Amino acid sequence: MELADAFLLALRALGRNKLRSILTMLGMIIGVGAVIAVIGIGKGAAAKAQEQLAALGSNMLFVGSGSLNRYGLHVGNSQTKTLVLADARAIARECPSVWLAAPGTQTGQQVVFGDQNWATQVMGTEPQYFEVRNWPFASGASFSEDDVTQSATVAVLGDTVRKYLFGSSNAVGQTIRIGTLPFKVVGVLAPKGISAGSGQDQDDVIFAPLTTVQKKLLGQEWLRWIMVSANSRPASYVAQHQVQSLLRDRHKIKPGGADDFVVRNLADIADAEAEQGSVMTTLLTIVAGVALLVGGIGIMNIMLVSVTERTREIGVRMAVGATEEDVRRQFLLEAIVLGLIGGVVGILFGIASSFAVSNLLEWPILIPPYAVVASTLFAITIAVFFGFYPARKASQLNPIEALRYE
């Protein structure tokens, strides 16, 4: 019997009991659909997390002021006052793996424009900060080095602040009040959204020259943080070690002594997010794989029932010349057809489910081609594995006894 004829015969045999065949394929459909949906949503979430982390900056290290030990009591970070502008200059100058270093400090302030006001963070920094953070401008431009030198009262707005103060109006060139001081808006940043690391709105911020914030808003000379961009992501780990060694030397910390600063590598956050997403995707895929196995067991059960119901038919075929190989192939093909149709419908179900979840929860999806191919092959493999025993049982029936079967 030709393979094409056997395939059509398998379809006709399954079509005799349409409802039973559909119910048999249901386990396979759910299993394959679950695998596709889990992988699609998992990969999409991982890609979104990596995108958000990349938005934090380019191969970035965060250097912050450290904790204080007061009579044995360790208070929180950002309490030391040993991190200074000279440290930032030294990092940029003496650490070979560092591309740029942007010093900074910050304070909470009430900002006013006309009859609108908004409470936000005001960060004092230098123009290279926006290069470190890969942060483009929606309009206007950054303040200049001369503005930093002259402690100019100019400001760059995050998109959230712009919306609350100006709405759809143009903010560049307008004058706002930060605290009691007037600041001219020279630029508006493109929106970055929620930070993957902290969950905070990155656009709810105003940037001003470092010296302006230090002298006119805070009255302090020390820094709260330095944003450091390494030459590359692999180099960020080398840069982290170089920065730690340099600052320990500059701050005269003895061997074994506690650092009065903190250095965090954002690549570690990205790796942790990726690993967590991978683990969750793997676990959920295993659960979906169990559903596929259940579907395979359903195929075996129905095929065994089919062999019993069609015993006389098998005997007739053998009596007119069908070989054991023909019978075994025929029933194995029926199992494969069940698995193949269930796999294809499951793929469509999984893709539709992924898009439904994406639209409902506003999650991105990313279904790699290998997931579709692997799910289909796995469904067929399950069908062959669980369909082989019923097919073998059918082929080993005695033709005489099969013809007598009632």
Are 249 and 307 in the same domain? no
What does the alpha-carbon distance between residue 10 and residue 391 come to, in Å, rounded to a whole number? 12
What does the alpha-carbon distance between residue 315 and residue 319 come to, in Å, rounded to a whole number? 6
Do the domain assignments include residue 73? no
Would you give per-residue pLDDT tens digits along the chain (406 residues)? Answer: 566 666 676 677 677 777 777 877 887 888 888 888 877 877 777 676 666 666 665 588 899 887 655 544 455 555 678 899 999 999 999 999 999 999 999 999 999 998 999 999 999 999 999 998 889 999 999 999 999 999 999 999 999 999 999 988 899 999 999 989 999 999 999 998 776 555 678 899 999 999 999 999 998 889 999 999 988 888 888 999 999 999 999 999 888 888 888 888 877 766 666 676 677 767 777 777 777 777 778 778 777 777 777 677 767 777 777 777 777 777 788 788 888 888 888 888 888 888 887 787 677 777 878 878 887 887 888 888 887 777 777 777 766 665 555 5
Which pTM value belongs to this model? 0.65
Do the domain assignments include residue 330? yes
- At 405, which amino acid appears? Y
Do the domain assignments include residue 65? no
Tell me the residue range of the domain where 34 lies: 3-52+272-404
Are 213 and 240 in the same domain? yes
- At 342, which amino acid appears? G
Alpha carbon of residue 210 to chain centroid = 34
Are 175 and 281 in the same domain? no
pLDDT at 215: 93
Do the domain assignments include residue 68? no
Are 317 and 227 in the same domain? no
Are 145 and 219 in the same domain? yes
Are 134 and 238 in the same domain? yes
Are 239 and 326 in the same domain? no
Cβ contacts of 327 within 8 Å, gap of 6 or more:
314, 317, 318, 391, 394, 395, 397
Do the domain assignments include residue 246? yes
Q: What is the pLDDT of residues 376-395, one digit of tens each?
A: 887 888 888 887 777 777 77
Token representation of residue 96: 């070979």
Answer with the one of 259, 294, 310 that is the final residue of a domain.
259
In contact, 330 and 10? CB cutoff 8 Å? yes
The residues pairing with 120 across neighbouring beta strands, listed in sequence order, are 109
Do the domain assignments include residue 344? yes
What does the alpha-carbon distance between residue 380 and residue 280 come to, in Å, rounded to a whole number? 26
Are 20 and 128 in the same domain? no
Do the domain assignments include residue 24? yes
Are 134 and 193 in the same domain? yes
User: Would you tell me how many other CB atoms lie within 10 Å of the CB of residue 348?
Assistant: 14
Answer with the one of 230, 259, 288 that is the final residue of a domain.
259
Are 254 and 277 in the same domain? no
Answer with the one of 259, 287, 320 that is the final residue of a domain.
259
Count structural domains, the chain. Answer: 2
